């Protein structure tokens, strides 16, 4: 090649060069070799890097230590694969103990050749504990998912150089397959830059536009945390989208799951300029999917980790939420609630079609959720249960939780019981499906179980989630093909009417059951008795998958037409019996 006339088409190379510039890394010490030529040529073509050449990799890494110490800035060292990269370790160990920001970029022939006696291919999967603060292995880019992963890994690595007192970082950079290198790209890939801010940094200006907060699973908000978030939302005409594990009960809370689940889209989820993400995992996947259209996401968390949940992350604030929100309260000036009012108008217009619902988990939720006793606690089972119950609101004084950290079904009842042991004077409710219940059945025999617990067991004879139609994760393929293995139907007595009854009663539980709406309407009132009774309760309801499917579909297509709103208003005013009587009069059949 006579002249370097462009960048390599390898997008890993382009992104790394672009992001090094954005993160202020411009000094590079290069050693000769074959697998890293694409990025070396890119540094040369770009012209904004101060480059140095050293044959000895051991010496190159020590030179970087001296340069980083003198300038106070990160320094990159670049070499090929095999023993060349091993020669970095003495100086990197020095850098680790002196907290020097050294970026080691090492070329890779091919990951798949590791362990297969390929020439010069070595395994760099692990390093000694006192060398690199972070190692990342960039993927071989084949599609958009690989581009996203590489972008995140590069940002994460470059940010780590200056994090927690600084230190060395390693990036494994795979070369383009084949021998002939293509340097025809004239512009760098427009790589997304992610920045991290801590307490000591000057925080970025807060932009104008449509602002929303998304609260994942979060410990119960303190009064101070609630007041600060309320004040922030008031200052920026913002709202806080929440689920039942969000812990926030302030004025600007919007329980958005039901609206987000509707087949019709709503403007309240659209055109958000900045989405502020706090908390951890969420089970409200419907709201999460709606909010992925936000233009930009700012993540606020004391851990300061890169959590690109919405794939729009630009800024990470390594600080507690109070500090963040307090800083930006006086940067706002709107002091209006138009966005909140718009959201509440949507949420309040959606009324579950209770009279149309077949007997199901959905129907049970519609009756119990709004009528839970004040100051009680409710834990929600995973998968189908939390999807359904998230579409219904609870009284403000009720605390709700779920194992959303991993969303596994194996310890749902044990987690709930642990909470009930710590809250002996409060009623504690659990809603759980049959697979989760039987998985954790032994916990029900614990000798410390108190009379404050109430368990609602939804027994639909298998994994209900797998039998829903049109969900975001599963395609229902009929009872015959779904039940045996996908939904694990038929186990645990195959919906036996006596199995759980006998077990529960033998353990001292009051046992309730229902297989129809009529039976349920009588029994559930006993189940939500506001006083702690002389026995714990277990309420087992038997439903079928076709009714569950129908009920879930009805909840996603709620009628909000003028006629539908009028019907809901009439029902609220007259009650269902009054509405039925009015229909007869209108049709000429009434007296």
Which residues, at least 6 apart from 319, have a Cβ–Cβ distance to it below 8 Å? 197, 198, 199, 300, 302
Look up residue 491 and give its DSSP letter.
Answer: -
In whole angstroms, what is the distance from residue 24 CA to residue 19 CA?
8
Residue pLDDT, tens place only, 73-119: 999 999 998 788 889 999 999 999 999 999 999 988 776 666 655 66
Confidence band for 577, pLDDT divided at 50, 70 and 90: low
Q: What sign does the dihedral 135-141-146-151 (CA atoms) show?
A: positive
Q: Residue 494: exposed, middle, or buried by beta-carbon count in 10 A (0-12, 13-18, 19+)?
A: exposed
Chain centroid to CA 273: 20
Residue pLDDT, tens place only, 525-558: 999 999 999 999 999 999 998 899 899 999 999 9
Confidence band for 591, pLDDT divided at 50, 70 and 90: very low
Confidence band for 587, pLDDT divided at 50, 70 and 90: very low
Helices assigned H by DSSP within 423-468 = 434-439
> Concatenated DSSP letters for 136-161?
EEPPPP-SHHHHHHHHHHHHHHHHHT
In whole angstroms, what is the distance from residue 110 CA to residue 8 CA?
17
Return the higher-pLDDT residue of 582 and 307.
307
Which pLDDT belongs to residue 73?
96
Mean pLDDT, all residues of the chain: 89
In whole angstroms, what is the distance from residue 109 CA to residue 80 CA?
9
Which pLDDT belongs to residue 547?
92
Residue pLDDT, tens place only, 419-433: 999 999 999 999 999
Confidence band for 178, pLDDT divided at 50, 70 and 90: low
Task: Tally Cβ neighbours within 10 Å of residue 571.
Answer: 16
CA distances from 370 to 29, 175, 390, 556 (A): 65, 59, 12, 19
Please compute the mean of the pLDDT values over residues 359-366 and round it to a whole number.
96
Q: Which of 276, 253, 277, 257 is nearest to 266 (CA)?
A: 257
Residue pLDDT, tens place only, 493-515: 888 999 999 999 999 999 999 99
Return the higher-pLDDT residue of 439 and 214.
214
Lowest mean pLDDT among 152-156, 421-425, 462-466, 515-519: 462-466
Angle at Cα 566 formed by Cα 562 and Cα 569, nearest 5°?
140
CA distances from 110 to 35, 117, 173, 174, 431 (A): 10, 12, 10, 7, 50
Which pLDDT belongs to residue 589?
45
Confidence band for 173, pLDDT divided at 50, 70 and 90: very high
Strands 510-514 and 50-53: unpaired
Look up residue 27 and give its DSSP letter.
Answer: E
In whole angstroms, what is the distance from residue 517 CA to residue 70 CA?
77
Lowest mean pLDDT among 59-73, 317-331, 478-492: 478-492
Q: Which of 472, 145, 140 is nearest to 311 (CA)?
A: 145
With b for 16 or more beta-carbon neighbours within 10 A and e for fewer, the 157-169 pattern comes to bbbbbbbeebbbb
In this predicted structure, the answer to whether residue 273 has a pLDDT above a threshold of 50 is yes
Return the higher-pLDDT residue of 99 and 477.
99
Task: Tally Cβ neighbours within 10 Å of residue 419.
Answer: 17
Partners of 377 in beta bridges: 399, 428
Which pLDDT belongs to residue 1?
44
Please compute the mean of the pLDDT values over residues 185-210 and round it to a whole number.
94
Angle at Cα 510 formed by Cα 506 and Cα 512, nearest 5°?
115
| 11-22 and 37-46 helices, crossing angle to 10° | 50
Task: Tally Cβ neighbours within 10 Å of residue 501.
Answer: 16
Domains, the chain, ordered by start = 11-192 (3.40.50.970), 211-349 (3.40.50.1220), 354-555 (3.40.50.970), 561-591 (no CATH)
Which pLDDT belongs to residue 488?
73
Tell me how long the chain is: 591
What region does 167 belong to: left with phi over 0, alpha with psi -120 to 50, or beta? left
């Amino acid at each position: 090649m006579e002249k370097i006339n462009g960048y390599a088409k390898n997008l890993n190379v382009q992104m790394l060069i672009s992001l090094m510039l954005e993160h202020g890394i411009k000094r590079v010490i290069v050693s000769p070799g074959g697998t890293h030529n694409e990025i070396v040529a890119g540094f040369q073509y770009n012209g904004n890097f101060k480059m140095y050449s050293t044959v000895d990799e051991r010496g190159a890494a020590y030179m970087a230590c001296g340069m980083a110490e003198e300038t106070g800035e990160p320094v990159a060292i670049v070499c090929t694969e095999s023993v060349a990269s091993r020669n970095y370790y003495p100086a990197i160990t020095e850098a680790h103990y002196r907290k020097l920001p050294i970026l080691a970029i090492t070329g890779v022939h091919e990951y798949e050749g590791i362990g297969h006696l390929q020439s010069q291919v070595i395994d760099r999967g692990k390093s000694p504990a006192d060398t690199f603060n972070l190692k990342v292995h960039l993927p071989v880019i084949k599609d958009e998912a690989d581009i996203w992963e590489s972008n995140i890994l590069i940002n994460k690595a470059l940010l780590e150089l200056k994090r927690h007192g600084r230190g060395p970082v390693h990036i494994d950079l795979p070369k383009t397959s084949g021998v002939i290198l293509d340097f025809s790209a004239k512009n760098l890939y427009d790589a997304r830059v992610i920045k991290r801010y801590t307490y000591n940094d000057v925080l970025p200006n807060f932009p104008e536009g449509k602002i929303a907060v998304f609260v994942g699973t979060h410990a119960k908000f303190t009064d101070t945390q609630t007041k600060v978030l309320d004040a922030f939302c008031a200052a920026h005409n913002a709202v806080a989208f929440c689920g039942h594990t969000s812990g926030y009960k302030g004025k600007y809370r919007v329980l958005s799951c039901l609206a987000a689940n509707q087949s019709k889209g709503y403007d309240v989820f659209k055109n958000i300029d900045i989405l502020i993400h706090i908390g951890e995992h969420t089970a409200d996947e419907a709201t999460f999917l709606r909010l992925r259209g936000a233009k930009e996401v700012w993540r606020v968390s004391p851990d300061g980790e890169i959590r690109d949940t919405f794939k729009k992350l630009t800024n990470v604030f390594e600080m507690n939420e109070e500090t963040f929100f307090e800083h930006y309260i006086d940067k706002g000036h709107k002091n209006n609630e138009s966005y909140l009012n718009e959201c509440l108008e949507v949420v309040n217009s959606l009324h579950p079609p209770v009279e149309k619902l077949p007997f199901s988990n959905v129907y049970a939720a519609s009756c119990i959720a709004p009528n839970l006793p004040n100051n009680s606690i409710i834990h929600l089972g995973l998968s189908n249960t939390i999807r359904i119950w998230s579409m219904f609101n609870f009284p403000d004084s009720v605390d709700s939780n779920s194992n959303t950290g991993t969303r596994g079904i194996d310890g749902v009842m044990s987690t709930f019981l642990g909470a009930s042991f710590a809250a002996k004077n409060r009623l504690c409710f659990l809603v759980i499906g049959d697979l989760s219940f039987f998985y954790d059945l032994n916990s029900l025999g614990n000798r410390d179980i108190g009379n404050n617990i109430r368990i609602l067991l939804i027994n639909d004879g298998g994994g209900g989630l797998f039998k829903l139609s049109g969900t975001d994760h599963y395609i229902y393929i009929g009872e015959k093909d779904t039940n045996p293995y996908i939904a694990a139907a038929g186990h645990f007595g195959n919906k036996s009417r006596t199995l759980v009854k006998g077990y529960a009663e033998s353990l001292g539980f009051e046992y309730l059951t229902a297989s129809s709406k009529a039976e349920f309407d009588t029994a559930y009132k006993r189940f939500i008795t506001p006083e702690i009774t002389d026995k714990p309760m277990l309420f087992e309801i038997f439903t079928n998958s076709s009714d569950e499917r129908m009920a879930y579909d009805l909840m996603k297509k709620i009628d909000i037409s003028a006629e539908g709103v009028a019907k809901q208003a009439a029902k609220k005013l007259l009650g269902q019996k009054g509405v039925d009587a009015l229909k007869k009069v209108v049709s000429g059949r009434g007296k």
